[in-house]
Homo-oligomer: A and B are copies of this chain.
Amino acid sequence: MKDKTSCQRQDDADRLRGLRDQFQLNDGEIYLDGNSLGVLPRATAARVQQTVAQEWGQGLIRSWNDAGWIDLPQRLGDKIARLVGAARGELVVADSTSVNLYKVMSAALGLVAADAPGRTRPGRTRILSERSNFPTDLYIAEGLARQHGMTLELLEPDEIPDQLDDRVAVLMLTHVNYRTGRMHDMAALTRAAHDVGALAVWDLAHSAGAVPVDLNGAGADFAVGCGYKYLNGGPGAPAFVWAHARHADRMHQPLSGWMGHAAPFQFTPDYQPAPGIDRYLCGTPALLSMTALECGIDSVLAAEPLGGMQALREKSIALTGLFIELVEERCAGHGLTLVSPRDPALRGSQVCFAREEGAYAIVQALIERGVIGDFRAPDVLRFGFTPLYTRYADVWEAVERLHQVLAEGLWREARFQRLAAVT
């Protein structure tokens, strides 16, 4: 049985423990919400200040060249590529996850319509996704389905394989579910989609920087992802978008902005998409947010000499496993039910428990006591574990405070606040 000392010993033996020094963390606070908004890397403040005061303030318009602003979408893209099994030049940073999803879903539907004799669009009218996928993904897909005269069908995870047939155009899934932390088998589901002639689109919002991803290894078709969660890019950091090289030059997307043009500075009146993934750029990127994102990505890449995503994954499994074990042991009898998969192979880097009564108030009471998790309607307590900065002793302490809140009924007094948490 674990105790606090054994957790501290685990920290002492942790080869990744030095990575924590990269971040500015509040004293005494245990932050288990890096799956919603990653923490601030120490390097970021100075870097953003440099961009504001020198690059913008002094360099002004010259910084598009001199400070390399114009290359940021690709430079950051190449860095993220290393975390998700993509090759150089295949991934760019642009816009938001929602906007990028619109691009790739549009492209995927266009490819399906254009492709495969005997499999023309009239026969492919189904878009499949998961019922508890993150809402924005469903909203974007719903709109495109209507526009294309197709139907969006929402399934439970286990129903997906049986529902794949030759009327499916696109299977669109979030790799790790935002609510349950359940992780899909990307390779197997992509293969199953391809077997029926459908395309596979993946949202990596809760995967990039959290679990190893191998987009090319899985043969996925398109992917999008988020910069402000496990990539520590800062609030509303720009998102990313990837397409498999086999689709290059055929993957039309409708947000045909000038940054995605083959020659953006020639100002020609007609649109000629850039080769490859660059055509997924649209307008001028939000530069200050981009430079902050680079520091965040670098904070994850700092793990590369220590084993990279594989080493982070091992620690993540150990942290989430420890949390489950401790909660079930120390908070037994307090009505918490594990929502996330018990099998670590099916679990992302978060753990969720449901509780019939008071889930929201319990999260508030924990926050008042310095344990930052979040609540997801209707009854879920959600805790994200970022191996870059979370210690085993933090897990112990978080469960200690959770137990106190439950055992002493402290949540009945928690202040209620308007809730505006972001995915």
Contacts and interface: CB of A to CB of B under 8 A. Distances in A.
Interface of A: 24, 26, 31, 33, 36-37, 39-40, 44-45, 48-49, 51-53, 55-58, 60-65, 69-70, 95-99, 102, 131-136, 138-140, 142-144, 147, 154, 179, 228, 234-239, 254-259, 261, 264-271, 282-290, 292, 367, 372, 374, 376-377, 417-423
A140 B286 contact: no
B255 A98 contact: yes
A26 to B, nearest CB: 6
12 contacts: A24-B57, A37-B61, A39-B60, A99-B99, A135-B261, A136-B283, A139-B257, A139-B258, A140-B255, A154-B269, A235-B288, A284-B422
Contact of A61 (B40, B55, B256, B374): B374
Nearest to A267: B135
Given A287-B289, A289-B287, A421-B265, A45 B39 contact: no
B139 A234 contact: no
A192 to B, nearest CB: 23
Contacts of A52: 40, 44-45, 48, 234, 292
B257 A136 contact: yes
A419 B102 contact: no
Contacts of A255: 98-99, 102, 140, 143
Contact of A289 (B53, B268, B269, B288): B288
Contact of A140 (B51, B257, B372): B257
A265 B36 CA distance: 13
Nearest to A132: B269
A154 B286 CA distance: 30
A287 B228 CA distance: 10
B65 A236 contact: no
Given A179-B267, A284-B422, 8 more contacts: A64-B422, A99-B99, A99-B283, A102-B254, A135-B271, A140-B256, A235-B288, A267-B376
Given A98-B283, A235-B56, A283-B95, A418 B61 contact: no
A350 to B, nearest CB: 14
